[in-house]
Amino acid sequence: KIGELPTGWRVRLLCQQHVCPLPSLFSSHRGGSDHGMTGCNTIGVSRPESAGPVSARNVRRLLSFQRYLNSSQFLRGIPASDPLSYILDDDYTGQAKLMLEKVGNWNFDIFLFDRLTNGNSLVNLTFHLFNSYGLIELFQLDMVKLRRFLVMIQEDYRSQNPYHNAVHAADVTQAMYCYLQEPKLAQTLTSCDLLLGLLAAATHDLDHPGVNQPFLIKTDHYLAALYKNSSVLENHHWKSAVGLLRESALLSHLPTEDRSERLGSLILATDISRQNDYLSEFRSHLDKEDLCLTNGGHRHFILQMALKCADICNPCRPWKLCQQWSEKVTEEFFHQGDIERKHNLEVTPLCDRQSNSIANIQIGFMSYVVEPLFLEWSRFSDTRLSQTMLGHLSLNKQGWKEGRDKPDATNSRASEEQRTSVAKDSNSRVLPQGSKGS
């Protein structure tokens, strides 16, 4: 009986672990690596690396070069074997390029961009931003290493997560770019700041298991033990990012300085449970008007706040985007709740599809988390973008409130909206139908 086993076991049972018997070639592990959460599609709970001779991750690493070749073929627009798909690819490529010309737009539709790039939004967008900021030349980055690094990052997001996948990372990176372009930041940030800001955005949820920290703690996941129950996920994202940076040797020719620490401190700032600490520090700076962006520490703090905003900016996007993200994040939450119910764990209220709804979750999230943060951000950066974001936030909240007690009404209104906008969109005819779920 599963219910009688200690919790750690219960969860391990949920996950069919198949560690393939492999030649000794793979048996050496990277020291201090905390990877090894692969090979489990359901909830991403797995044994520590030391528990088996070979982690699925190492196998994936081996495949990554092939992945890179595949992906760079696409990026270079080399014809695929099917001549028809080549013609279509060419068309998408043109449209993706057009979209990148407006990458600083707050209306940027990352879902569309991801379809047009055949699921490579994170690689493509981040590469474009590095390039357009001149970071490649400035830091003398090897383009092959850079592409390879970005492909590894994209692949280490789990595409089976409805929300915490590479498209979310691409979306956060795009939002981060919008904030980096705000006058106060654009005028003061150094190239190092830009590099770290974009890197942190692209990697901030790396290898996210699709469940939250309390779940990892109550199921005795080894990551919870490794990081002593504190910012468990964020520490894992950071360490994973540092691992990939090392593996790709992208920055190995640059002085080390405090790069890893700064990257970590940016990623750790996305821990929502610590939001109040960051928010009160921000508020106190704004009250005292003592932020001085020639000061490196202050610039770093602003980057932290910018990344925090970028991470939770979904409700500040136009309704159509906001709504799609809400559906995805709710699906991920409810999936966790289903696992909890199935295995007699306490069901997290946020994740309980029997007692919670997408509208309720969104209204709460907007009121208690998003609004307070963006109000302070708009005090700091009182620009048109900030006004636009607050405008959408308020409209979207209203939207959820109106549909809250009538889920059917919300759904039909939404699909009606989607249908008309698709019909109006002349590009929609050539969208790759049924391509990777965005």
Ligand X SMILES: *[C@@H]1O[C@H](CO)[C@@H](O)[C@H](O)[C@H]1NC(C)=O
Q: Where in the sequence numbering do the catalytic residues fall?
A: 164
Could you tell me which of 193, 401, 372, 377 has the C-alpha nearest to residue 291? Answer: 377
Shortest Å distance, C-beta 181 to Zn ion:
20
Q: Residue 326 burial (CB < 10 Å; 0-12/13-18/19+)?
A: buried
Cα–Cα distance for residue pair 227/245, rounded to 1 Å: 21
Cα distance between residue 213 and residue 210, in whole Å: 10
Residue among 229 and 420 whose Cβ is closer to ligand X: 229
Q: Is 168 annotated as a binding residue?
A: yes
Partner touching 244 among Zn ion, ligand X, none, CB below 5 to 8 Å by kind: none
DSSP 366: I
The verdict on whether residue 29 carries a ligand-binding annotation is no
Determine contact, residues 49/223, Cβ cutoff 8 Å.
no
Closer residue to ligand X (CB): 14 or 217:
217
| Residue in 388, 389, 409, 224 with CA at minimum distance from that of residue 312 | 389
- Of 64 and 386, which CB lies nearer to ligand X in the complex structure? 64
Task: For residue 340, state whether it binds Zn ion (rule: CB under 5 A).
Answer: no
Binding at 311: pick from ligand X, Zn ion, none (beta carbon under 5-8 Å per type): Zn ion
Residues 379, 372: Cα–Cα separation, whole Å: 11
CB 46 within 8 A of CB 220: no
Where do the H-state alpha helices sit in 249-383?
Answer: 259-268, 275-288, 296-311, 319-342, 358-365, 371-380
CA distances from 114 to 61, 227, 327 (A): 24, 33, 17
Task: Examine residue 29 and tell whether it contacts ligand X (CB under 6 A).
Answer: no
The span from the CA of 17 to the CA of 5, in Å, is 18
Smallest distance, Zn ion to C-beta of residue 41, A: 20
Position 207 contacts Zn ion (CB under 5 A): no
Query: Is 405 known to sit in a ligand binding site?
Result: no
Question: 313 to 372, contacts with ligand X by CB under 6 A?
Answer: none
Return the H-helix or E-strand segment holding 188: none
Looking at residues 390 to 429 of the shown chain, list those that interact with ligand X (rule: CB under 6 A): none
Rounded least distance, CB 221 to ligand X, Å: 10
| Contact residue for Zn ion among 205, 271, 332, 376 (CB under 5 A) | 205
For the record, the structure tokens of 53 come out as 């001779």
Determine whether the annotation assigns residue 204 to a binding site. Answer: yes
124 binds ligand X (CB under 6 A): yes
Question: CA–CA separation, 114 vs 110, rounded Å?
Answer: 6
Asked if 127 interacts with ligand X (CB under 6 A), we say yes
Q: Mask: binding to ligand X, 220-259, rule CB under 6 A, as x and -?
A: ----x---xx------------------------------
306 is annotated as contributing to ligand binding:
no
User: How far does CA 408 lie from the centroid of its chain?
Assistant: 30
Q: How far apart are CA 136 and CA 130, in angstroms?
A: 6
Binding span for Zn ion by CB under 5 A among 27-35, 204-212, 215-223, 377-385 = 204-212
Residue in 34, 155, 156, 311 binding Zn ion, rule: CB under 5 A: 311
Binding residues for AMP: 164-168, 205, 311, 362
Q: Which residues bind ligand X (CB under 6 A)?
A: 63, 66-67, 70, 75, 77, 93, 96-97, 117, 124, 127-128, 217, 224, 228-229
Q: Which residues bind Zn ion (CB under 5 A)?
A: 205, 311
